[in-house]
Structure formats: structure tokens, C-alpha cells
Chain A
Amino acid sequence: MTNLELQKTANEVRKGIVTAVHSAKAGHPGGSLSAADMFTYLYFEEMNIDPADPRKEDRDRFVLSKGHTAPGLYSTLANRGYFPVEDLKTLRHLGSYLQGHPCMQETPGVDMSSGSLGQGISAAVGMAVAGKMDQKDYRVYTLLGDGEIQEGQVWEAAMFAGANKLDNLVVIVDNNGLQIDGKVEDVCSVYPIDKKFEAFNFHVINIDAHNFDEIRAAMKEAKETKGMPTAIIMKSVKGKGVSFMEDKAGWHGKAPNDEEYAIAMADLEKIGEELAKGGMA
């Protein structure tokens, strides 16, 4: 896909996020929107997957360690053809297969249940170990929040991945700088993130989370990196694409009301129109 096609797709993913969270009257739009470009790149460009065969044995795996941003994953999976986009409106509803946090038994395309922060990365490490044991060449991707890396288990997993030279593993940190109680540096600073992963024997790449050239280059570099896992630290804007949500901690875990929903969709429609004209100025 060209960058423009990816941008258009990511914009559709963002519309699905906002629509799902609005319909659920709850959920986590901020961190879903900040990672929307990465979700899009992974499922539309990077990963070897097949929506018609979600459990294909040699597929690449993805674990959403920051499981609360399930709307981002669900919207991406829906747009990729795993299930109808229309079903995003059932998010968090009683009886829906789109649970508040990812559930691998319920939702096609979800490789691991997650939501309790710090645990998904360990499961991703386990998948990478299985790949090495079986001499399979699938790759494993996991997405973490920057607040999430305050969890100690993240560093247990990172230490193991580095020590075991899991070069089939890519750990992505969504550095939108905000967590529920405020800025990550004010709550309990996680910085420097890159130096920490370097110290845990990762190959580290810093990128702009909303620049597809940088995402593409980082993924290529990760693939070419042998003998160590890769960490991609992506600087992002929480709530990206929705004017009133951007860079606001308050939109971590809150749904827009009807009026706000209309504004959010208008924002995204406008971005869509710009993209249809051939790209953002």
C-alpha cells in the first residue's frame, strides 16, 4: 500500500474507533487513536495474516498488551475483513463478541486475551519462543502503552527477550505521554524509554507514530536485525485525528456524547476529504 492508501485506511480505522466507543458509551478512544496508524500498518502492510483463516498456523502474531485500546484493534480487524465493520457498534454490549478488552475465544483475529497491563508482552515472548523452538519464521508483534511499562512484568519479559536473543519479536511502545492520572513524567516517569530497552539488549528505533515512512523503515530495520529483539518507541499524539481529544488525558477512557460524536466524525470526514484530494497539505 502507498502511504496515501495507508492514511485513508487509518482514517477509516479512526472512524470505527470513535463509532464503537460512542455506541458503547464507554471505552478507550485516546490510546486507540494514537496507535491507529500502527494498527493499520501492521494489519494492512506488515503482517502475514489471512482474515479468512484467522488461526493460520504460520501467521504472524500480534498481542495487544495495552488491551484497553481494543477499539483500535477491533476497528482494524473489521476494516481488514475479519468481521463486519457494522458490528463495531456492538462493542461492550451484552452478548457481543467484542468484549471491553480483547478475548481470543470470542473475536476472530485476536491472538491473545489481554487487558491486565504488563501481561501481553510475556505472552508475545512465549509465542516468539515457540517460533524459535519449531524453527518457524513467523514474527511476533506486541503493542504496549507508555504508562503500561511502569508494570514490573514488562521488564521481566524484556530481560528474557533480550537474554534469549528473540529477533522474531518486535515490541512497540505507544509513547503518547499521557496516562489516566496525567502526564507519564508527572505520575512516575518512564523516561528514557529507549535507553531502558537498550540496556535490556534490544535494538531500539525511535519514530513518529503518525509517519508511515518512518513506520515502514522501522519495520524493515527490525526484520534485518538479527540476534536481538527490536523495540520501536513511537512518539504519538493521544486522541490523534479528533480535535478535542488530541493530547488530553481526559479522553483516555471516556466515550463521546452524541454532540461530541458528531464533531469527532466531522473532523475525520474532513481529514478523509483532504486525503481524497491527494493528501494532506
Chain B
Amino acid sequence: MADVKKIATRESYGNALADCGKDFPNLVVLDADLAGATKTATFQKAFPDRFIDCGIAECNMTGIAAGLATCGKIPFISSFAMFAAGRNFEQVRNSIGYPHLNVKIGATHAGITVGEDGATHQCNEDVALMRTIPGMTVIVPSDDIEARAAVRAAIEMEGPVYLRFGRAAVPVINERDDYKFEIGKGVLLREGKDVTIIASGICVESALGAAEKLAADGIDAEVINIHTIKPLDEELVLASAKKTGKVVTVEEHSVIGGLGSAVCDVLAEKAPTKVCKIGVYDKFGESGPAAALVEKYGLDAQGVYTKTKEFLK
């Protein structure tokens, strides 16, 4: 595994926007003084006339995007998840969600892998906030390939979409010929019969790693990548839960309101199944290198393996 390609999904975001600029003349990108960090500067360089820097004023940026959308533009607003979803929640709900405007929210620097900046900037609540808004699509891509596909798919669909990207470089795991991205469709990455591990974002790789370790112990884990938290691929989740009878969810997000909760919502109603939620346990993050934080919070392959073993006891 010496030369696994690693790319941060925020990088993929900027590249995808620049790629799509030619195909979609109505695409407009807005940022709030973070173009270098969110990577929208890549789009800005290619299409300066369709890039708007709003300054450090995320709420106004959100309203501007709403106004642009009423005039037929396809605006992307970009900031760190903490501000794009957190500070902005009510603007997103009332100015974008309620009128169901065609605005896309590109949120970078999500979760604890923000790293050294610490808790104020590590948003572990954005998926929970965004998925409560009626009509909002919520996507958490797992790598470069998925992130780029998600940006294009978001542009191609009508309506508001929240896209969650990370700061830290992550391995490319979806490089295969038959890879296909479809909003609302989960991806079965590994078939198994003893337990289902459902993961999103950077935790998909951890889930795959954990499944390898479990296999060495004779445990046959099924691994599902849920890149679209909303609408959730209920069919895939239910079929796998019914097959294995035990479900583990893994996400770089609070265990309150994110992927784990979305999975529990559907299982509780349609196929009651025991679930172990792995994520950030109702606490704030802290400063440190991204990889060290992932390890400390038990979101790496080893952490997922350990918790799954305990769960299966």
C-alpha cells in the first residue's frame, strides 16, 4: 500500500467546479473569504466573471445565492461546514429550503479532520442540521472520485443540495471501472453475512479496513457506503440489516442526528435491528493532527474493528 493516491475532497470540489464551469454556463460560485481553503479559487481562476467573493459574511452570501437562483443561476456557496451549515442554518432553511431554491452548499473542513484549528472549526453537527430541512439533499462523499461525481450530480439535479467535504487528504478508494454515482443510491462495497457496517465520508475506508481485520477473525462483514444521507437508500439498508441482523454505522460526525440516526430511523420503523453507532460521542473536538484525532476518536480501521468486535460479543 506504499503509493495509495491521496486527495482532500475539498480539492476535488474545486476541481469539479472548474470542470463543470464550461458545461453549465449558469453555474456561479460564491465564497466568503476562504477561496484558497475551500479550493473555489480553482473555479475563480478559470471563470472570474462567475465567481463572487462576499467577504466574511456567510449569511448574506446565502441570501445572495437565493436571489441568484430566483434569476436562473445555479449558485454554489462555499465555506467551512461550521459556517455553511452552522452559522447559516436559519438562512439555509428560510432563504433556500423553504422556497426550495436551486442553491448548492459546498461545505469544506467538516468534522474533526480539520485538525489543528480545534473545536471551534470542527463541525460534527452539520449533517444533523441539514437533514432536518424539508427537501434538502445531503451528500457526504468518501473520496476524490465520489466528490467530483457528487458535484456534477448536484448541478444536474434541481433543488437544494448540501455537500460535505474534508480538509485532510484521503485515499482514493473508488477507482474502478464499474463505479457509478447516483444520488440516493448506496454502494455495496463488500458482501458479508455476520454484520453490516454502514459508513460515510472518510469512514468508508475505515470500514473496509475493519472488515479485513474482522475477516482474519472469521467474521464476515458486509460494507456499505452511504454517500447520500438524505434521501437515504432505505432498500439497501433494510435488505442488508435483514440479512446480517446486526448493524454498525461509522461517521466523522456526532452520533446524534447524522448517518447513524438516519439508519436507526428507518430500521426502528421497518426492521428493528440492533445498531452500534460509531462517531463523535456528544462532545467537542480538539486540536491535533487529523490522523491522530481520527485514531483518538476511534474512527480509523482499528477503532471500528475494536468497537465492532465488542458489539458482536
Check if A116 sits within 8 Å of B94, measured CB to CB: yes
The listed residue (B49, B54, B62, B71) touching A127 by CB distance below 8 A is B71
Known contacts being A116-B90, A160-B54, A160-B57, is A153 close to B63, with CB within 8 Å?
yes
B95's partner among A61, A111, A122, A134 (CB-CB below 8 A) is A122
Name A residues whose Cβ lies closer than 8 Å to a Cβ of B.
61, 63, 103-105, 111-113, 115-116, 118-131, 133-134, 152-153, 156-157, 159-160, 163
B172 contacts the other chain (CB 8 A): no
Instruction: Please name the residue on chain A nearest to B95 by beta carbon.
Output: A119
B55 at the interface (CB under 8 A from A): yes
- B residues less than 8 Å from A63 (CB atoms): 67
> Given A122-B63, A123-B70, A133-B50, list of 19 further CB < 8 A pairs?
A105-B99, A112-B70, A113-B95, A113-B98, A115-B94, A120-B63, A122-B62, A122-B64, A126-B66, A126-B67, A127-B70, A130-B73, A153-B59, A159-B55, A159-B57, A160-B54, A160-B57, A160-B60, A163-B55
Across the interface, name the chain A residue whose C-beta is closest to B63.
Answer: A122
| Chain B count of residues within 8 A CB distance of the other chain | 29
Query: What DSSP secondary structure best describes chain B's contact surface?
Result: helix
Chain B nearest CB from A47 CB (Å) reads 16
Considering only CB atoms, which chain B residue lies closest to A63 in the complex?
Answer: B67
Give chain B residues whose Cβ lies under 8 Å from the Cβ of A121: 63
The answer to whether B63 touches A103, judged by C-beta atoms less than 8 angstroms apart, is no
Complex alpha-carbon distance, A113 and B135, angstroms: 16
Residues in chain B near residue A111, CB distance under 8 A: 70
Flag if B99 contacts A153 (CB, 8 Å): no
A56 CB to closest chain B CB, in angstroms? 12
Q: Give min CB distance, A222 to chain B, whole Å.
A: 19
CA distance A94 to B28 in the complex (A): 38
Give the residue of A118, A125, A134, A152 whose beta carbon is less than 8 angstroms from that of B64.
Answer: A125
Mask: chain B, 166-191; 1 = CB below 8 Å from A; 0 = not: 00000000000000000000000000
Tell me if B68 counts as interface (CB < 8 A to partner A).
yes
